[in-house]
């Protein structure tokens, strides 16, 4: 069987979501580990007065691409920015660009999506479902397409406690929902959203489940693979440990805890914390596309890119190690000493919110006013509480994901591919029972959590010089 770099040699790849967190890392890894890939067509829209080419240039000029620049200075020549708007009919592609893409593309990586948990249903459907369908319709016209790789989420079917590597029936027929949204006004859409999403926590999860069904049905004649990552965090190893470009999800809460701003949150100490590094997700996506391209499996391949089934790491443990890290390595200009209490008790949670969040923030704002400065801490706390509400569902519940396909994929890799494309998260199989007699294993196990915190220290300090992201009024 050909190796992964050999498979990608001479191939033309189409990538969506290249300006997003996951897409950036995939672009960098593909060009670095598979240097003989022919070209990468990047679908990017104009934004804030920037052309697609300027937006791509901004991405590849960042620190994330430093290693690639050193190893392959001419990598820019392989990236072709294509003006496209995924929410527009036919992806708003020019006829010339469309013809080139149809003639040339061998592999598609569809990473683009809105990941905002509070996105209104109409926009979430447009970005996550309709855009996916339009890309599949384009893929069906491609003359040399080998693989359509779709990035989903492990929580697409979070209404189930045990999730296999299959596409389940959707909560509603996507076509009927799309047709209904065309005549509904925004008020009606907002009113029916809670009933529609049912036992799913938000529109993001809901629409990602619909998107999987669309991929399965509309892409029935395509060679499709789906990768479902759980909570994606900072890089484990590549291109360097601890890279992250945003404070979404747990990362923002970890930093707020390190600042002493976050003191309590609703969570179950015993709930599994299924965190997966972004480079592991990217490596699995590249390997999954390789496997489908080489073996042409009869059925759609689904990969649950999760860590909880091999490593029962819990939120209580995450909290302990994050706080311990920040106590040993305090952040600059911390509000107070880091300390966090996790509780699943409703009354106790609101008590601690009042005592440890709102009261200190209120008093601090009074102090700021008295010293002639603008009050900001209550705004910070309000934003923090909104972020906490979005994550409560995931920090209070546990799921069991089947990972048979992931294990199969790992076993298919030859030794060289296992080195270059690490889809395994080797230390996740280490249990807490081993920590005491084997401190070096303990350090390895904590590396990912510490990456999110300590190894992102420089990035955080740079951001602080621009103003804390959770202190802006936007």
- Per-residue model confidence as pLDDT tens digits over 455-464: 444 444 454 4
CATH number, domain of 303, equals 3.40.50.720
Q: How confident is the model at residue 61 (pLDDT cuts 50, 70, 90)?
A: very high
Are 316 and 269 a contacting pair, CB within 8 Å? yes
* pLDDT value for 468: 41
* CA–CA separation, 84 and 415 (whole Å): 39
Residues contacting 440, CB < 8 A, separation 6+: none
Q: What predicted TM-score, i.e. pTM, was given to this entire model?
A: 0.89
CA dist 441 and 204 (Å) reads 36
State the DSSP code for 456: G
Whether the pLDDT of residue 433 is over 50: the answer is no
- Residue 23 belongs to some domain of the structure: yes
Give the mean pLDDT of 412-426.
74
Burial 335-359 (b: 16+ CB within 10 A, else e): beebebebbeeeeebeebbeebbee
What separation in angstroms does the CA of 245 have from each of 271, 333, 361, 414?
Answer: 27, 21, 27, 32
235-246 residue pLDDT tens: 888 888 778 887
- pLDDT for 423 equals 60
Q: Note the pLDDT of residue 424.
A: 54
Q: What local confidence, expressed as pLDDT, does residue 307 receive?
A: 84
Mean pLDDT over all residues of the chain?
86
Query: Can you give the residue range of the structural domain that contains 198?
Result: 4-241+273-312+398-436
Tens of pLDDT, residues 148-167: 999 999 999 999 999 999 99
Q: Is residue 363 part of a domain?
A: no
Place of tokens 């790789």: 149
How many domains, in total, are found in the chain?
1
Query: Where do we find the tokens 């209104």?
Result: 120
Band of pLDDT at residue 466, cut at 50, 70 and 90: very low
Beta pairing, strands 162-163 & 400-401: parallel
Give domain status of residue 33, yes or no: yes
How sure is the predictor about 224, in pLDDT bands with cuts at 50, 70 and 90?
Answer: very high
Regarding predicted confidence, which is higher, 281 or 248?
Answer: 281
Give the DSSP letter string of 49-114.
Answer: TB-HHHHHHHHHTSGGGHHHHHH-TTGGGGEEEEE--TTSGGGG--HHHHHHHHHH--EEEE----
Averaged pLDDT for residues 10-17: 97
Q: Is residue 115 part of a domain?
A: yes
The pLDDT value given to residue 266: 93
Assigned domain for 451 exists: no
Residues 6+ apart with CB under 8 A from 380: 261, 361, 468, 470, 471
Averaged pLDDT for residues 115-138:
93
Query: How many beta carbons lie within 10 A of that of residue 297, not counting itself?
Result: 13
- Tell me, yes or no, whether 251 lies in a domain: no
Phi/psi at 221 (nearest 5 deg)?
A: -95, 0
pLDDT at 465: 45
What's the CA gap between 470 and 346, in Å, rounded?
Answer: 25
Does some domain include residue 472? no
Q: Give the best-scoring range by mean pLDDT among 253-257, 429-433, 443-447.
A: 253-257
CA angle 185, 474, 375 (to 5 degrees): 135
pLDDT score for 116: 84
Q: How many CA atoms lie within 13 Å of 68's alpha carbon, on the beta-carbon side? A: 26
Instruction: Read off the pLDDT of residues 314-370 as tens digits, 9 standing for 90 and up.
Output: 899 888 888 887 788 787 788 888 899 999 999 999 999 999 999 999 999 999 999
Tell whether 265 is covered by a domain.
no
Given pLDDT bands bounded at 50, 70 and 90, which one contains residue 251? Answer: confident
């Amino acid at each position: 069987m050909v190796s992964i770099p050999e498979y990608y040699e001479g191939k033309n790849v189409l990538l969506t979501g290249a300006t997003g967190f996951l897409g950036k890392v995939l672009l960098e890894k593909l060009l670095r580990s598979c240097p003989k890939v022919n070209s990468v067509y990047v679908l990017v829209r104009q934004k804030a007065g920037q052309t697609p080419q300027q937006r791509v240039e901004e991405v590849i000029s960042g620190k994330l691409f430093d290693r690639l620049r050193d190893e392959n200075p001419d990598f820019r020549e392989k990236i072709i920015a294509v003006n496209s708007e995924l929410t527009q009919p036919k992806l708003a592609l020019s006829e010339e660009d469309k013809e080139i893409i149809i003639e040339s593309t061998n592999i598609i990586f569809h990473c683009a999506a809105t990941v905002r948990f509070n996105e209104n249903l109409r926009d979430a459907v447009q970005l996550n479902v309709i855009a996916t369908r339009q890309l599949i319709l384009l893929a069906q016209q491609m003359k040399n397409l080998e693989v359509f790789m779709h990035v989903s989420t492990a929580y697409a079917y979070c209404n189930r406690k045990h999730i296999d590597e299959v596409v389940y029936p959707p909560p509603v027929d996507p076509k009927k929902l799309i047709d209904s949204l065309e005549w509904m006004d925004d008020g009606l859409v907002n009113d029916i959203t809670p009933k529609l999403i049912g036992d799913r926590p938000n529109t993001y999860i809901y629409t990602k489940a619909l998107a999987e069904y669309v991929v399965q049905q509309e892409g029935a004649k395509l060679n499709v693979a789906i990768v479902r990552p759980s909570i994606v965090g900072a890089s484990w190893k590549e291109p360097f440990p601890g890279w992250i470009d945003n404070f979404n999800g747990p990362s923002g809460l970890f930093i707020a805890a390190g600042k002493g701003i976050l003191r309590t949150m609703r969570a179950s100490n015993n709930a599994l914390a299924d965190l997966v590094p972004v480079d592991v997700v990217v490596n699995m996506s590249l390997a999954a596309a390789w496997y489908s391209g080489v073996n042409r499996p009869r059925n759609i391949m689904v990969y649950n890119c999760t860590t909880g089934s091999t490593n029962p790491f819990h939120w209580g443990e995450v909290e302990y190690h994050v706080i311990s890290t920040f106590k040993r390595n305090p952040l600059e200009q911390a509000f107070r000493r880091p300390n966090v209490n996790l509780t699943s008790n409703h009354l106790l949670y609101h008590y601690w919110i009042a005592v440890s969040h709102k009261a200190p923030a209120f008093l601090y704002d009074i102090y700021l006013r008295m010293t002639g400065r603008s009050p900001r801490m209550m705004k910070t706390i309000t934003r923090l509480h909104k972020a906490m509400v979005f994550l409560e569902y995931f920090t209070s519940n546990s799921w069991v994901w089947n990972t048979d396909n992931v294990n199969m994929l790992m076993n298919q890799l030859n030794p060289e591919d296992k080195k270059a494309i690490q889809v395994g998260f080797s230390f996740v199989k280490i249990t807490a029972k081993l920590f005491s007699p084997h401190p070096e294993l303990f350090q390895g196990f904590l590396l990912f959590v510490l990456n999110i915190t300590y190894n992102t220290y420089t990035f955080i300090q740079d951001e602080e010089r621009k103003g804390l992201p959770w202190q802006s009024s936007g």
